[in-house]
Amino acid sequence: MNRVSFIIILILAFKAEAQTSALAVSDSLYAVGEYAEAINKLQEITSQTEKTYLNLAKNYAASRQPEIALKNYKKVLSQNPDRVLTAVDYGELLVKTGKLGAADSLFKDLSEKYPKNASFKFQQGLIKEKLKESTAMGYFMHTMILDTTHQGALYKLAKDKLRNRQYTMAEHFSKQGLRANANNASLLSILAQTYSSLKLYKEAIPHYEKIIELGEDTEFIYNKLGFAYYRLGEYRKAIAMYKAALNFEDRNSATHYTLGKLYVLIGDLDKSETHLLMSILIKKQPVDAEFFSLGLTYKMQEKYKNALEYFNKALDENPDHERALYERAVAADNYMANDETAIRYYQAYFNKYENIGNDGMLYRAKTRISDLKEKIHLAEN
């Protein structure tokens, strides 16, 4: 081997080692949530490979820059169309960004290529559901046929049957899923609600109680369980459940009203008066808490336009509602395409509460402002 060939081999080996090192560092940064630093490290690699593009896609997706992430996923798949897991990640990101047509085509191709894969069929069902197509339930049924224990599909089917008052089938699909996973709180809830709808309260109660034991308790579950106890004449247990519901929303006038009626039934007129007066008082006060709660619900459903609307309504009722002002910025960030607009919402919160606000929310707002400004700067360059 001549000297020139030896030097070339050394250079290539050095480059390969440097690339491997950069990838390892970026993986470590990704693991601790330092996505911007990971991206910078990956961009230092001169010869971009399939692995580099994949890591860039993951980091851009995690840093809420989905469009750039999608471009990198496409580069990976153009080099290696057989990367099934990458295709799934790409498809799920298409769904998150509202590109439902492209996502539908991708999962359709995967389903045709892997016809026995229940997950791909389920993803098609979720997309059809988002598109409000009536065929969605057919895809969930097909999923369940491919995998009789598929928890997601069985939940969708059971919920649909409950909504359409087909209680026998709602019970059937719930129990089918629970045989595979007895601790599925979503299916336990559907089964309990099915029994409540049939006025089979003794059968419903154990399932509501198990949901609470699993730590999945909500205001809704306590209200349902309280009503079941009420219908069975167990008023003290009903009172305990409705009081637990108040721990989630203490300004729920309906819950206070129900407690007022229940205390009458056990002869405690003083407490009855207290809760009935609370119910009336709440009704006369501004409803910023109700608007705020609805905004949070829409946020959890990723309906950011609706969330923004109701956080604004909460602020109209109570301009000093700190968290509503912060959550409005988060909703705007997710809904609006213009990053400058999102920055203004965060800045409005930060300016008002910089010296008196919640430390955690102030830190997140400041960090997000910095991230968005960096994103705009990178786009301009």
Alpha carbon distance 154, 180 (integer Å):
11
Domains 231-285 and 288-380 share a fold: yes
Alpha carbon distance 202, 233 (integer Å):
11
Alpha carbon distance 203, 256 (integer Å):
26
- Three-point CA angle 163, 253, 229, nearest 5°: 60
Domain boundaries, the chain: 148-216, 231-285, 288-380
What is the number of alpha carbons within 13 Å of residue 325 lying toward its C-beta? 21
SS3 category, 267: coil
Q: Are 141 and 157 in contact (CB under 8 A)?
A: yes
Higher pLDDT, 197 or 33: 197
Residues 341, 345, 348, 350: is their CA dihedral positive or negative? negative
CATH superfamily, domain 231-285, is Tetratricopeptide repeat domain (1.25.40.10)
Predicted local confidence at residue 328, as pLDDT? 96
Predicted local confidence at residue 14, as pLDDT? 38
Predicted local confidence at residue 291, as pLDDT? 75
Show the tokens assigned to 288: 């910023």
Predicted local confidence at residue 72, as pLDDT? 86
Show the tokens assigned to 276: 């009935």
- Integer CA distances (angstroms), 190 to 147, 168, 184, 247, 329, in order: 20, 12, 10, 23, 34
Quote the radius of gyration of the chain (alpha carbons, Å).
27
Model pLDDT for residues 20-32, shown as the tens digit of each residue: 667 677 667 777 7
DSSP string, 134-191: TTHHHHHHHHHHH-TT-HHHHHHHHHHHHHTT-HHHHHHHHHHHHHH-TT-HHHHHHH
Model pLDDT for residues 233-283, shown as the tens digit of each residue: 999 999 999 999 999 999 899 999 899 899 989 988 888 888 888 887 887
Find the DSSP H helices in 198-234: 201-213, 219-231
DSSP string, 101-132: HHHHHHHHHHHHHSTT-HHHHHHHHHHHHHTT
CATH superfamily, domain 288-380, is Tetratricopeptide repeat domain (1.25.40.10)
Is residue 362 over pLDDT 50? yes
Model pLDDT for residues 45-55, shown as the tens digit of each residue: 766 777 878 77
Q: Are 302 and 338 in contact (CB under 8 A)?
A: no
148-216 CATH, one of 1.25.40.10, 3.40.190.290, 3.40.600.10, 3.40.50.1820: 1.25.40.10
Is residue 297 over pLDDT 60? yes
Please tell me what DSSP assigns to residue 357.
Answer: S
Lowest mean pLDDT among 45-49, 139-143, 176-180, 289-293: 45-49
| Mean pLDDT (the chain, rounded) | 88
State the amino acid at position 207 in one-letter form. H
Alpha carbon distance 178, 217 (integer Å):
18
